[in-house]
Amino acid sequence: MDTNESSKFAELQQRLKEAEKNTILAATYGKELLEENHELHTKLENVIKEYATKIEAMEQEKYSLSQKLETHLHTERSLALELEQLREQHNIQIESMEAKATLNHDHEHQQHVKKMELSQMKERMVLQEAQLKEAQERLDMCNSSIHEQSTDEATATMQSQIMTLTCEKQELEVQVSSLTALKKADKYRLAKAEKTVSKLEAEVEEKECQCTSYYNALEKNKEEMQELNMEIESLRLAETDPARKGNSLFAEVEDHRQAMEKQLLKKRNSVTQNGSGKMKNFAMKQNTLALLRAGLVTGRRQITLVVRTSVVLSGVLLRERMMEGVDEDQDTNSFFQNMYGKSQKKIAELGQELHTAQFDKVVLSDQILQLQRKLRQAEGARDATNAEIIRLTVKLEEMASEKNREISPGSQEVKRVVEKIPGFEKLFSTAQTQISLPMETVPLKEKLVNPNTMQEVERQTKSIDANSGNGVDLSPSKVAANQENEIPSVQELKKRQKKSVHMTETVTVQEYNGDVQELKMKIDDGEKKVERKRKAMRKMEAPPVESNEQLDGCKQQ
């Protein structure tokens, strides 16, 4: 029996030891699991904080880039408006300059015409004077001939010839003078026209330079806009980078959205390239069709000319044959029939070319319609992808909201905003230093008034130790300025420190308003009594202390 009991007891002890070991192992494993869980929780909080900071930085960059885009768009619009205004002003100036130029030209032309008329009148006056002189000479000659009575027929004919020649000479001189005047007027007009043309060319060059400068500025703005768009796209791609976000549902959805956007952009580019190429081919074919039509018109004209020339030649040949008396009707008929057959063949060839060109035009129009259908299909696919993206974003937002609800409140404290009053931390730190550290002593200057001489005498007062508890309270105005941001312990200290007293045989008392009094001690019946004795007026001078700075200097006074 004893052996059985001892064996049972030993078995029970072993079971107890095994149970204790198992409990110890379970406790250690539980502790390790709790530590791992805590570490994972801290890591999760850190990851959430990092992603929150990254998202805020990306949003700030996005906002700044959008602001830059808006500013560049505004500048581009303003530049475009300025360009339009300058073009209108330029057109108005050109019209006004043209009107002024025409008026000046007309005025100068009138002046020049009047000058030319005056010059012609002067020349006519000179010619008339010369004619008068010649007439007087003739009269003198006639008188002399009458006196001499030499009236021969030969001399009379010679004189008549001379008279006719002189008249012709005068007429020729008048014509030469008028022609010279016209030549001068034409030269003057040419010079004026050349000057106006040179001025207008210079103005046109200046305006072209201005337009090119504005165009260059617009191109620069467009390049900057493209760069900003590329930066925004790169930021979007960086936001959807799977290397940063890891293998999560958000990253998969963003990758899917990015792939769909890339496919859509590729489709758009391919459609636009195909459309542009086909439009170019269509334009080329239209140009060729126009050239063919022009060739057809020219061919028809040539045919009509050939027919006319053939008719003329046939008439000439018929006339020659009629003149020669030879009958060759058969040869002429065959010749004209050959010419008519050739012209009909040419007309048929040109009609076939026109028919082929029309068929090509119909084919091109069919291709354009097919391209338009493809474009509409691509737009429908784009709309479907946009709807799918919106649906996925809504799902993402719902999942993010559910995830934020599941997160513990300790991790949600990341997004809390703490508002701090400016200057409060400084006061708190200064109050702590005042309580822990001993305050320094600041020497004060007293101004004593001598009653005999009525002059002020400066003297430095004794330094008051801060550890003795003898401080000076501030004035009520300065205390009221900083009462809101002060700690209650500092306010209690200020309420207690109303007077600073230094105990000697003669006691100096400094009150809160700055007045200094000197008191004498008397011993009556074993008790000390203070007898107040007013001294001369004293003026205290202390270094000024601002309300927001530390309060050590004021308390030491």
Return the number of other C-beta atoms located less than 10 Å from residue 303's C-beta: 16
Alpha carbon distance 313, 306 (integer Å): 10
Return the number of other C-beta atoms located less than 10 Å from residue 88's C-beta: 10
Run of H or E residues at 523: strand 516-524
Alpha carbon distance 493, 251 (integer Å): 60
Q: How confident is residue 124, by pLDDT bands cut at 50, 70 and 90? A: confident
CB under 8 Å to 23, separation ≥6 — which residues? none
Return the number of other C-beta atoms located less than 10 Å from residue 555's C-beta: 22
Provide the strand spans (E) within 202-270: none
- Residue pLDDT, tens place only, 4-21: 888 888 888 888 889 888
Mean pLDDT on 508-523 = 62
Model confidence at 53: pLDDT above 80: yes
Backbone angles phi, psi at 451, to 5 degrees: -70, -25
Least confident range from 70-79, 229-238, 302-311, 457-466: namely 457-466
Provide the strand spans (E) within 334-463: 445-449, 456-460
Classified as helix, coil or strand, 531 is strand
Across 69-78, 277-286, 542-551, the highest mean pLDDT is recorded for: 69-78
Q: Give the domain ranges of the chain.
A: 9-239, 245-406, 438-556
Mean pLDDT of all residues belonging to the chain: 68
DSSP 71-122: HHHHHHHHHHHHHHHHHHHHHHHHHHHHHHHHHHHHHHHHHHHHHHHHHHHH
Q: How confident is residue 545, by pLDDT bands cut at 50, 70 and 90? A: very low
Q: How confident is residue 505, by pLDDT bands cut at 50, 70 and 90? A: low
Alpha carbon distance 233, 230 (integer Å): 5
Chain position carrying tokens 């691509």: 378
Pick one of 2.60.120, 3.40.1350, 1.10.287, 1.10.3470 as the CATH number of 245-406. 1.10.287
Residue 95: the pLDDT is 87
Alpha carbon distance 453, 451 (integer Å): 6
Q: Which amino acid is residue 394, in one-letter code?
A: V
- Residue pLDDT, tens place only, 183-211: 777 777 777 777 777 777 777 777 777 77
- Residue pLDDT, tens place only, 452-469: 555 555 554 444 443 444
Percentage of the chain lying above the pLDDT 90 cut: 1
Alpha carbon distance 32, 105 (integer Å): 106
Alpha carbon distance 534, 511 (integer Å): 14
Which of 335, 330, 341 minimizes the C-alpha distance to 303? Answer: 341
> Contact at 8 Å (CB) between 464 and 556?
yes
Q: Rg of the chain over CA atoms, in angstroms?
A: 59
Residue 275: the pLDDT is 66
Residue of 301 and 45 predicted with greater confidence: 45
Classified as helix, coil or strand, 459 is strand
Residue of 87 and 497 predicted with greater confidence: 87
Model confidence at 310: pLDDT above 70: no
Mean pLDDT on 391-410 = 70
